Amino acid sequence: MATQHKIQAVGRKDEGKGASRRLRHAAQIPAVIYGGHADPQSIQLEHEKTWLASQHEWFYSSILDLEVDGKVQKVLLRDMQRHPFKQLIMHLDFQRVSENEAIRVAVPLHFLNEDASPAGKSSEVVVTHELNEVQVSCLPKDLPEYIEVDLSNLELGATVHLSEIKLPKGVEIPELKLGADHDVAVVVARHARVEEEPAAEDEEGEAPAAGKEEKDDK
């Protein structure tokens, strides 16, 4: 069962660029909630608490309990605008979710037992993670915070494809319905490239040439 994550917010009536600027100066984040067969609602969140929450993986891939003026709404984060160079969140978009309607969410992949695998133990092998998240479709109650990919049997030259990921009950990957070409690689174990050391012939060849010039000068 997924962990519940509560985020607190306050409704707001002032809108527009000027109002958003004033909120940011007051250490608040302007945001909006939309969808779920209800009208969009403008809200504001405390920047410090929201910034701390945004440092966690679950903030981006889990269903959040967004409490607005004492009323809790189930939402997903759909967009975040950040300041170009400051550690500031400029705006957030949340989408309401309905318990009876399937949602599409990018879920992080957690790779397990890579170091213990035959490929992971070999210094001649480079294990590459081609994907770090995967788009899934499911009902809100079935949404996992992450999906584990067990690499304990990963061999040299092996490729783990999208279709080989073990999914939780009720979860599917829509991409796989589009055909075999969409069954992309998730993890690849390749031979490491060994760069050849520069040959020392040039250094050895320079000395006789210099000596010959000195002999010719005499």
Question: Could you count the other beta carbons within 10 Å of the beta carbon of residue 41?
Answer: 17
By three-state DSSP, how is residue 1 classified? coil
What is the reported pTM? 0.78
What Å distances lie between residue 84 and 25, 53, 61, 69, 190, CA to CA? Answer: 17, 20, 23, 31, 37
Task: Give the lowest-confidence range in 41-50, 82-91, 207-216.
Answer: 207-216
The tokens describing 109, both together, are 């992949």
Domains of the chain (ranges plus CATH)? Answer: 5-96 (2.40.240.10), 103-191 (2.170.120.20)
Q: Kindly report, residue by residue over 142-183, the tens digit of the pLDDT.
A: 999 999 999 999 999 999 999 999 999 999 999 999 999 999
What Å distances lie between residue 126 and 118, 121, 158, 193, 214, CA to CA? Answer: 11, 10, 11, 9, 51
Q: Kindly report, residue by residue over 6-21, the tens digit of the pLDDT.
A: 999 999 887 778 888 8
Q: Kindly report, residue by residue over 109-133, the tens digit of the pLDDT.
A: 999 999 999 999 988 899 999 999 9
- The pLDDT of residue 161 is 97
Quote the DSSP letter at residue 192: P
- The pLDDT of residue 2 is 60
> What's the average model confidence in pLDDT over 24-31?
94
Q: Exposed, middle or buried: residue 151 (CB in 10 Å: 0-12, 13-18, 19+)?
A: buried
